[in-house]
Amino acid sequence: MKQFVLMVLFFICNFLEAEQVKKNYHPFLADDDPIKWHTLLPKYIEPDISLAIELSQKNIDEIASLPLNKLTFRNTIIALEKATDPLDVAWGYVSHLDSTCNSEELRGKHNKMLPRVAEFSANILLNDALWLRIKIFAETEEAQNLQGIDKKLLDDTLDSFRDIGADLPRKQRERIKEINIEISQKAQKFAENVLDSRNAWERYVDNVEELKGLPSITVDVLREDAKAHDHEGYRISLNPSTSGKCMQYLEDEKLREEIFRASLTVGCNDPYSNQKLVEDILRLKDEKAKILGHKTYADYALKRRMAKNGSTALSFVESLHDRTRKFFVRDIDDLEIFRAEFVGIEKSRLVPWETSYMSEKLRKARFDFDEEQLRPYFQLENVIAGLFEVANRLYGIKFVEQPTFFTKNEGDTPSGEAIPVWHEDVKYFKAFEEHGAYIGGLYMDIHPRESKHAGGWMSSTKNGYLDGDGTWHYPTATICTNLTPSTEDTPSLLSHREVETLFHEFGHTLHHLFGKVKYASMNGANTAWDFVELPSQIMENFCWERESLDIFAKHFETGEKIPEELFRKMIAAKNHMSGSGMMGQLCFAKLDLELHQKYENYANTDIEGQLRQVLGTYRITLSEYVPTITLSFKHIFGGGYSAGYYSYKWAEVLDADAFNKFKEHGVLSREVGDEFREKILSRGDSDEADVLYRDFMGRDPDIEPLFIRSGLVD
């Protein structure tokens, strides 16, 4: 009987929902500027994405049915560049909401449409008529005479079709299509398992005494979190921004162990285990690469990156490992000695839930410096204003905050100039040139919530591009982060690392907003992935320079700048355990490349056991074996970074080198800023990344500045 009632209710809900979807109303296809987020409700996803696929398919069919003697650059290549806009825009919104406002309803709709979206993209590969017309056009006189960016668009289009297998026999292309669809679904499930297993664990602490050692701001955040869950006391979760602090500061070893062991379950245990997904995804990627004529998936993925192939990327990582190894060994040895003295025992292997804690204690002992001392100087609002001021000094631009509009009630509309947002916390800014011309928009979604994916990222919410009629379409960027929120007693005060995160994502934002390339697919941050982290990472340098820090680092109560003594300690402690930090990143990069460049060693075998051997010199030997990050490594299994994690280090070589040019002229030099904007930030993918780099620096990159900056020199 109960079941019957539920079924009736379910039917009524569905019926009501079906009624509420207005006919001929397609908010996800509206492409408004500003975007009407309040109209983008889950119930419209299915009809709108279906229509977006239909419209995009119609555009493709039009190109594919052109008479063979009537092919022009405009009706083939440019038309193709724009053909999938309806779906790109609409699905872009759905994906964004999936990462920031995840709910059962939204996820259900997203996952229902995902295979159809993947199928649509995969079908382009099977479209013989389309590929024939592109090839025939490429032989015409008009094509032979194309210059500059137009020629690059044609070449890139031809390359990308060949790269995905357009010239292969149909049977093989059909198999690639199947693989692409399968990978997209498995990657989505992988990411969901990470989010869900992280959310599945929580631990309440009643007595504040148990939290001894934790910075007071973290204690406040844990208390507010408990309150938000209708609970007394303090709530510890696996949100990395607070669990990381617990591992670093919590004196209660038992509690630290508990959190550590819980963190090991992310993506590992049923019902959230990613084991089978990892095996499947690797196997499918390898099969795809081989069908496409590459020896490895890494070779396939890196063909058009700066590294060009998997073995160059792997040698890069291994050579950095060899140079870093002795500093890493020294760091661990120092930490073991320190721990022995600190605890009063014989020197022995570190315990896993002790590394972060002891490292923090050692930093304090060596430099009399605790990074929490900096937090009062980094009030969120000041840091954001500081970001904008640094951008103003370097490039002359201004960001102006706009009133926003958020509602949970369908039908409510914003009044006046208010800009709709997807959550009440989201802020919106407009960027202007110094002479007043509009550049683009920027959303900022700063704080964590359960419905939001962890980490920080910038997404290109709207691409900048030039229309056929000469109209410039302005770009919009979105910064999403999970930074320390405010509490009842204190405003949002950031750690120095969080300030760096904000500067990093802001660097991507400037790359996106400054793009002046007329084709969206080559504009802004749409560049080679081992180059794209240059604009972001170079901004992190400004978090270490007195001149730029003085702009925004002001004590939230007294307004004073960071005292000289504290600043000196911060700089002195900057490279504390930097050998270990560098090796940690290299370990992720090596793991990623091992799986994608040497798959034959991991097929049908115990992946973890194999990695344990290979990564031996990249990892600390602890008192017990700690599994690698593989089953929760969203970057490479749930995102697009497979065979690409090395890009962070690759681009770090570039940013450490290029920042020296800023330093030589004064870090806030407008002259160097303008040159960086003109030669790198505004040029998107209009030329090869190494050409852009040489244009700015006048030479090839030098690896030494990275080691010098990291203190990894004798």
Name the residues that contact Zn ion, by CB under 5 A.
536
| Position closest to Zn ion via CB | 536
Cβ 334 to Zn ion shortest distance, Å: 31
Determine how many CB atoms are found less than 10 A away from the CB of residue 168.
Answer: 17
- CA–CA separation, 470 and 179 (whole Å): 40
Cβ 452 to Zn ion shortest distance, Å: 17
Cβ 538 to Zn ion shortest distance, Å: 11
With CA atoms as reference, report the closest residue to 280 among 188, 165, 194, 192: 188
Q: Which is nearer to Zn ion, 27 or 507 (CB)?
A: 507
Structure tokens at 287: 């099969």
Which residues have C-beta within 8 Å of that of residue 547, sequence separation ≥ 6? 666, 667, 668
- CA–CA separation, 71 and 138 (whole Å): 10
Cβ 540 to Zn ion shortest distance, Å: 10
Q: Which is nearer to Zn ion, 114 or 651 (CB)?
A: 651
- CA–CA separation, 608 and 615 (whole Å): 10
Cβ 51 to Zn ion shortest distance, Å: 33
With CA atoms as reference, report the closest residue to 309 among 55, 622, 644: 644
Cβ 504 to Zn ion shortest distance, Å: 6
- Residues facing 430 on adjacent strands: 400, 441
Q: Which is nearer to Zn ion, 157 or 537 (CB)?
A: 537
Cβ-contact 94, 117 below 8 angstroms: no
CA distances to 305, 412, 529, 692, 707 from 696, in Å: 19, 49, 19, 6, 21
Burial of residue 502, with CB atoms counted within 10 A of its CB: 0-12 exposed, 13-18 middle, 19 or more buried: buried
Which region holds residue 213: left if phi is over 0, alpha if psi is between -120 and 50, else beta?
left
Cβ 706 to Zn ion shortest distance, Å: 17
Cβ 670 to Zn ion shortest distance, Å: 25
* Alpha-carbon dihedral sign for residues 570, 572, 576, 582: positive
Q: What is the DSSP letter of 317?
A: H
With CA atoms as reference, report the closest residue to 510 among 681, 660, 635: 681
Q: What is the DSSP letter of 409?
A: S
Q: Which is nearer to Zn ion, 536 or 710 (CB)?
A: 536
Q: Which is nearer to Zn ion, 57 or 536 (CB)?
A: 536
- CA–CA separation, 401 and 428 (whole Å): 6
Tokens 């951008």 appear where?
391
Amino acid 187 reads A
Q: Which is nearer to Zn ion, 369 or 503 (CB)?
A: 503
Q: Which is nearer to Zn ion, 96 or 177 (CB)?
A: 96
Sheet holding 438-445, edge to edge: 398-402, 427-432, 438-445, 476-480, 457-462
Cβ 536 to Zn ion shortest distance, Å: 4
Q: Which is nearer to Zn ion, 52 or 538 (CB)?
A: 538
Cβ 534 to Zn ion shortest distance, Å: 10
Cβ 537 to Zn ion shortest distance, Å: 7
Cβ-contact 49, 28 below 8 angstroms: yes
Q: Which is nearer to Zn ion, 99 or 536 (CB)?
A: 536
Cβ 477 to Zn ion shortest distance, Å: 12
Structure tokens at 587: 């370990």
Cβ 524 to Zn ion shortest distance, Å: 13
The phi and psi torsions of 395 (rounded to 5 degrees) equal -125, 0
Which residues have C-beta within 8 Å of that of residue 7, sequence separation ≥ 6? none
Cβ 219 to Zn ion shortest distance, Å: 31
Q: Which is nearer to Zn ion, 188 or 536 (CB)?
A: 536
Q: Which is nearer to Zn ion, 397 or 458 (CB)?
A: 458
Cβ 508 to Zn ion shortest distance, Å: 6
Determine how many CB atoms are found less than 10 A away from the CB of residue 352.
Answer: 20
Q: Which is nearer to Zn ion, 76 or 536 (CB)?
A: 536
- CA–CA separation, 343 and 410 (whole Å): 60
Q: Which is nearer to Zn ion, 493 or 636 (CB)?
A: 636
Q: Which is nearer to Zn ion, 376 or 684 (CB)?
A: 684
Determine how many CB atoms are found less than 10 A away from the CB of residue 580.
Answer: 20
Q: Which is nearer to Zn ion, 536 or 548 (CB)?
A: 536
CA distances to 7, 70, 131, 573, 624 from 67, in Å: 54, 5, 14, 68, 68
Structure tokens at 202: 């929580």
Q: What is the 3-state secondary structure (H, E, C) of 104-133?
A: HHHHHHHHHHHHHHHHHHHHHCCCHHHHHH
Amino acid 367 reads F
